[in-house]
Amino acid sequence: MTIRSFAKINLGLRVLGRRADGFHDISTIFHRVELHDTLHLETTDGKVTLECNRDDIPVDDGNLCVRAARLLLAQQRGRGVHIVLQKNIPAGAGLGGGSSNAAAVLRFLPKLLGQHIPDGELLEMAALLGSDVPFFLQDGSAAARGRGERLTYFVWNCPWWIVLVNPGIHVSTAWAYGALRLEAQPEDPDLQALLERAVRDPEALATLLRNDFEAPVMEAHPGIREVKEAMLRAGAVGAMMSGSGSSVFGLFDNEAAARTCAAGFPPGQLLGVTPPDFSPVLLQRNT
C-alpha cells in the first residue's frame, strides 16, 4: 500500500497560554498543501522496520511512523510492518511532516491488516504521538484549539496560489515555545470567521495571518524574515511563517505573480507552489 502524506500550513496561530500539564493552548487553522512525503507499507512477521531516503531522519523509535505502528500492533503478536518513507517535507520546518507520516500509518495500516479501529481509539493514539497528529486523521481543513487536538473540520476551497519556501533553518518547537513572550490576556479571534472574510477583506486577512512565534523566531533567525519580506515585495496579498518555523508561505491572487515569486528563490529553498482549490489524494494504490 502506498500513501501520500501531505504537509500542512497554519493559517494564523495564536498561543493562548501555558496549561497545567506543561503544554500550551493554541488557536489555529490547519490546511494541507501539495508538498508531500510518500510511505509504502508492507506487512511482515513480527517486526516494525523503517527505511528512509534521508540520512538525517531516524529509523527507530525516534520516528513517529515507527511509534505509530508499534501502538497499532501492540496487541497483534507476530504481525509487523516494513515502512519505506520517501521524505520530501523538511524536518523542523513548521509543516507537520512527521505528524502527517504518523497519521498516515494510523489511518491506513489497519486497512492493510484488515482491521477496524474505532475513530476514538485512533484519536487517542494520535494525541499520544503529538499535538499535530490528530488533524491528519481526517480530510479537509480544520480549526484547532487545545493542544491542537480539538478539531472542527470544514471544506475550504482556497482561492489563492500558495508559494511555500524553507530557508534551510531548523527550528526546534520546544525552543520556540520557550522563547515565546506571552501576553497576559492574549487576543483570541475567531480564525475561521476571519478566514471566510479574508477572501474579500484585506484587513481580515492581515488579522488572520498573525503567528505568535514569528517575533522570537525571526529575531533569532533573520533569514526567515527575509523570505517573508521577499514574498510581500513579489506581490503576495499575505505571507506568514508556518507553525514554529522555519517555512514561510505566501498567498497570491494570480498564477503569474506566484510563479515569478517562486522563481526568485533558490531551488533548494522552494518547496512548491500549490494551486487554488487543491484537493489532496492520499491513497495511491494497493499492492
Active-site residue set:
8, 132
Q: Do the Cβ atoms of 284 and 2 come closer than 8 Å?
A: yes
d(C-alpha 273, C-alpha 276), whole Å: 10
- Cα separation values, 133 from 6, 115, 161, Å: 12, 20, 25
How big is the chain, counted in residues? 287
- For 48-68, letters b (16+ CB in 10 Å) and e give bebebeeeebebeeebbbbbb
Q: Is 272 helix (H, G, I), strand (E, B) or coil?
A: strand
d(CA 258, CA 254): 7
Cell readout for 137 is: 486523521
Chain centroid to Cα 5, Å, comes to 10
The amino acid occupying position 17 is G
Q: Give the C-alpha separation, 184 to 112, whole Å.
A: 49
Q: E strands along 134-245, which residues? A: 141-145, 150-154, 161-165, 238-241
